[in-house]
A and B are shown apart, each in its own frame.
With several copies, the nearest count.
Chain A
C-alpha cells in the first residue's frame, strides 16, 4: 500500500518535472489545446450572452390563443373578459374561425385544398399583445391561459420568438460542430505529444521493462501528463475566453451605444468553467491512453 502510494506520487512528481524540463514544447502544446478549447467555449459564452440579450431587447411579445372547435359565443366572451382583466395584456384581437377560414381560402397556395373541404377545420383565436415588461413572465402566463375554459392551445409564436429561436438553433449547431471538431484536435495533440514523450523516453521505458517495471508503472506518468496537459489547456482556454470577452466588450460598447443600449458580455458561470476543465483533463487522459496503448506495444517481448 505504501509502495503503491509512493509509486503514484513519484509518477506525479516525475510528470511535473517533465513538463518543467521542456518548457517550450509544453507551453506550445498547452497553447494549442487552449486555442482548441477556447473556440467552442468562447462561442458558447457568446451564445449564452445572445440568449440573454435577445430576452432583454425584444419588445411586444405576442401570444396566440386557440380555442376548442366547440367553443360557443359565450366562451369567446369569457376569454375576452379574462384577457381584459389580465394586467400584463396590452391588447387582444379576436379572430373568428369564419374570418380565418375565409382569409386562408383566399391564399393562392392553400385555397383549392380548403375549398374542397366542406367543414371549417380552424378554431377561433385571439392574438394577444403583451406589455413590454411581460417578456420574463411569458411562459408562466401562457401556462396559466392554457388552463382557461375552452382554450385548446396557447402558442408563443410571435415573429421575434421564431427569429431568435432560428438564430440560436443555428448558433447551437455551430458550437456543437466546433466542439466536436476541436475535441478531435485536442485528442490528436495529446496523442502526438505522448508519442513524442514515449519516443524521447524510449530507452528509459525499455530498460525499466527489462528491470521489472509493471505496465502500470510505465503508463501512469503518461496518463498524468496527458491529463495535466488537458487541464492546463483548459485553464488557458478559460483565460483566452476571459481576455476575448474583455476585448470584445470594448467593441460591443461601441455597438451598443448606437442602439442606445448599455449591453455588455458576461463570463461563463463557474459551473461551466469547471465542466470545461474536467472535460479537457478527461480528453487529455483519453489521448494519452490511446497513444500509450498504441505505442507501448513496440516494447512487448515478441513470440
Chain B
C-alpha cells in the first residue's frame, strides 16, 4: 500500500513540482498518473523509491514512512520496487542478459539461481532469443521490454513505470500495456506515468484501472 499525505516537493532553484499531493494506492491496484509535460508525474514517482525526497508531507510504502528513511535502509526498500525509468537507464557496455541479472547480482543471489530467474524474466517479455545481444542493437520497443524484464526479475510487489511507451508506435505500446495488465493480474501494484490517452484506454478495456491527473503539481480532484 502506498500513501501520499500533503506532499510538497521543491527543486533546488525554487521550482515547486508538487504542491500538497495526497492519495492512496491499494495493493494490486493498476494506477495511471497523467498530466501535461512538466506537471510533476516523474517527480511523484521518484518519491516512492526515494530517488528524490519530499520537502514536507509524507510518503508511506507498506507501512514505512520512506520520506524519513535513513540512507542506509533505502537500498533494501528499492529491492522491493520494480522501476522502469523514463530514460530506461540500460547499460550499453554489457549484454541483454547481464542487464537483466544486475538486480540479482546487487543482492548477492547465487549466480545459478540468478541466471534461471533472469531467463524467466526475459522469456516473459519475449526477449529470450536476444540474451546475448547488446541493448544498442535492439529496437526501441525491445529496449522498453528489456527495461521491464529488469524491473520484474526481483519479483517486486510494486512496479513503477515512467512513460514506458514514449518513443513507441501504437502497436508496440499496446503490447507493453498488455504486459503491465498481466503483472497486475498476479497481484503486483502497478503505477504508470503517461500522457498517452490511448495507453490508458487500452488498459482500462482489459482491467480495472484508476487515473490521477496532475496539473502543475496539483492533483485534480
Contact = CB atoms under 8 A, between A and B. Distances in A.
Contacts of A215: 71-72, 75
Given A204-B91, A300-B71, A210 B107 contact: no
Interface stretch (B29-37, B49-57, B188-196, B210-218): B49-57
A203 B89 CA distance: 8
A214 interface: yes
Nearest to A206: B89
Nearest to B99: A207
Nearest to B46: A301
Contacts of A214: 72, 75
B109 interface: yes
Nearest to B94: A204
Contact of B85 (A2, A3, A210): A210
Given A204-B91, A210-B83, A212-B79, A217 B106 contact: yes
A91 interface: no
A210 B102 contact: no
Contact of A213 (B50, B89, B106): B106
A207 B89 contact: yes
B86 to A, nearest CB: 12
Interface stretch (A4-12, A226-234, A254-262, A284-292): A4-12
Contacts of B50: 301
| Chain A interface, >50% SS class | helix
Contacts of A206: 89
A4 B110 CA distance: 11
B108 A211 contact: no
Interface string A184-213: 000000000000000000011011111111
A212 B78 contact: yes
A4 B107 CA distance: 9
A211 B74 CA distance: 10
Contacts of B92: 203
A297 B102 CA distance: 22
B12 interface: yes
B52 A302 contact: yes
A259 to B, nearest CB: 62
B53 A303 contact: yes
A81 to B, nearest CB: 81
Contacts of A209: 75
Interface residues of A, number: 23
Contacts of B51: 210, 301
Given A212-B78, A212-B79, A301 B106 contact: no
B105 interface: yes
B111 to A, nearest CB: 8
A79 B52 CA distance: 88
Interface string A5-40: 011001000000000000000000000000000000
A126 B51 CA distance: 84
B103 A211 contact: yes
Nearest to B103: A211
Nearest to B90: A207
Given A3-B108, A212-B107, A207 B83 contact: no
A207 B106 CA distance: 10
A11 B111 CA distance: 14
Contact of B107 (A3, A203, A301): A3
Given A10-B105, A203-B89, A208-B106, A301 B78 contact: no
A211 B91 CA distance: 13
Contacts of A4: 108
B108 to A, nearest CB: 4
A128 B83 CA distance: 88
Contact of A207 (B75, B77, B91, B110): B91
Contact of B106 (A212, A302, A303): A212
Contact of A203 (B78, B91, B110): B91
Interface of B: 12, 49-53, 55, 71-72, 74-79, 83, 85, 89, 91-93, 102-103, 105-110, 150
14 contacts: A6-B108, A10-B105, A207-B102, A209-B75, A210-B49, A210-B83, A211-B79, A211-B83, A212-B77, A212-B107, A213-B75, A213-B106, A301-B52, A303-B53
Given A208-B102, A214-B72, 15 more contacts: A2-B110, A3-B108, A4-B108, A204-B93, A206-B89, A210-B49, A210-B83, A211-B79, A211-B83, A211-B150, A213-B75, A213-B106, A214-B75, A301-B50, A301-B51
Closest 8 CB pairs of A and B: A3-B108, A212-B78, A212-B79, A213-B106, A7-B108, A212-B75, A211-B103, A214-B75
